[in-house]
Amino acid sequence: MSVLETLSKEGRREFTKAEEEIIVCSRKGDLNRARSFSVGVSLGGQTELSVRRNDGTTVWIPLQTVEIIGLIHQLAANVGCNVEVQPREDSSSGRSGHNAN
C-alpha cells in the first residue's frame, strides 16, 4: 500500500499540491544556474570571474591572488587531486621585481 492510498482525499490533494510546489521551486532554481563562466583580469592585478546566467545577464566578482589560489585548491580537492602552485619566472605573471634565485 502506497503512502497516497493511506491518505484521505484532502490529504492526497495537499500532498499533490506540495509536490507541485517542489517542482516549481526546482524549476526556478534551474533558471538561476549559471550557463557559462569566464576568467579575466581587472584593474590592479585582480582576477575577475564572470558568470552568465540563463537569462543572459552576467554577474562577476573580482578576486585577490590569495582567493584565486584558494579556488584552485578547492577545485582540485573537489575532484580528488592535489596541485602544486608556484610563481612563474617571466613578466607575464604580473609580479614586478620577482627574483627566481
Predicted confidence (pLDDT) at residue 91 exceeds the cutoff of 80:
no
Contacts of residue 89, Cβ cutoff 8 Å, sequence gap at least 6: 98, 100
pLDDT in tens, 16-40: 899 999 999 888 877 778 889 999 9
Scanning the structure block, which residue is given the C-alpha cell 617571466? 90
Provide the whole-model pTM.
Answer: 0.58
